[in-house]
Structure 1
Amino acid sequence: METPLDRIDRKLLELLQQDASLPNLELAERTHLSPPACSRRVARLRASGVIRKTVALADPRALGYTGLVIIGVVLDRSTPDSFAAFEKAAAKLTGCLEVQLVTGEFDYFVKLRIQGIDSFNEMHSAQLIGLPGVRQVRTFVCLKEVFETTVLPVMG
């Protein structure tokens, strides 16, 4: 059984989710730990999988991604093989951020960053409708990105 997170672990996670580039010395000061103890705790959180990875979040607009689309996908079959083939291919779509298997009207939602409607239109015809097993796609173009975060609440 996993060791539950204590108050200090939760504080470390809160701080690192806000800014993973914080130096160990600053993390230690903010959590009232010695630098070696802080380093060991962060290493333990990584080794246990609580911290999956550390990334730099790029500004999509700075890279030319001016739009966001969410695509509802219906497959022609609901078999493990058709799901696996679709998932493998969809993850390779240009600008793909997420592929989610869902319940309801669609089988999947795919979230893509796009470099404009023209480039999306080209990608739609060249990549999207050719994905394995796709029967129908419905595209939702985001008009305004209201809220987005990578920060999860750290429960106590």
Structure 2
Amino acid sequence: MKSENSLDGLEALDRTDRHILRLLQADASISNQALADKVHLSPPACLRRVERLKKSGLIRQIVALLEPKALEMGMLVMIGVVLDRSTPEAFKDFESAAQKVSGCMECHVVTGEFDYMMLLRTKDNDSFNRLHAEQLLYLPGVRQIRTFIGLRQVLSSTSLPI
């Protein structure tokens, strides 16, 4: 028997749950009172829904999005990585090391030409060159690294279409 606090996937979300999720994606700092007003619920009912969404795993965490340029991390670098062998141990070793790379925001196993795509933020060309020489060249099991530097951001969103 399921508890009333559990949710089983997207189909269990009603219109109000979806509205709450959209509003929180736009501004997670909204007060419970303001959120409740916007979704036409009492504050206690709204808080119960938000807590249920958290408990169910639909809300993974609540964070502040920082301005990279203001923190001298304005350079975006995408890196395609090819490993020299495709063994579980090689993948494990690389993934463990990739988590320690300075400025690494994301690392994904991918299909196609590369085994991994990494997304890094750094200050400028000089800081990236240092990062490359001091960390990227020493990642275990790497046969090839291809670097792509972002010139201009066209779109960046953290909101999922729900």
Q: TM-score, normalised by structure 1?
A: 0.96
- In structure 2, the residue matched to 1:43 is 51
- In structure 2, the residue matched to 1:145 is 153
Corresponding position: 1:23 with 2:17:
no
Report deviation, 1:36. Answer: 0.2
Report deviation, 1:91. Answer: 1.4
SS in 1 for 2:76: strand
SS in 1 for 2:135: helix
Report deviation, 1:71. Answer: 0.3
Corresponding position: 1:125 with 2:133:
yes
Report deviation, 1:121. Answer: 0.4
Report deviation, 1:115. Answer: 0.8
What count of residue pairs does the alignment treat as equivalent? Answer: 154
Gap regions ≥5 residues in structure 1: none
Give % identity.
57
Which residue, out of 57, 60, 64, partners 1:52? Answer: 60
> What is the root-mean-square deviation in Å for CA atoms of aligned residues?
1.0
Report deviation, 1:84. Answer: 1.0
Once superposed, which parts of structure 1, at least 4 consecutive aligned residues long, lie more than 3 Å away? Answer: none
Report deviation, 1:73. Answer: 0.3
Cα distance in structure 1, aligned partners of 2:94 and 2:43 = 46
Report deviation, 1:88. Answer: 1.1
Cα distance in structure 1, aligned partners of 2:109 and 2:61 = 23
Cα distance in structure 1, aligned partners of 2:111 and 2:51 = 37
Cα distance in structure 1, aligned partners of 2:100 and 2:13 = 36
Which residue, out of 111, 114, 134, partners 1:106? Answer: 114
- In structure 2, the residue matched to 1:81 is 89
- In structure 2, the residue matched to 1:64 is 72
Gap regions ≥5 residues in structure 2: 1-6
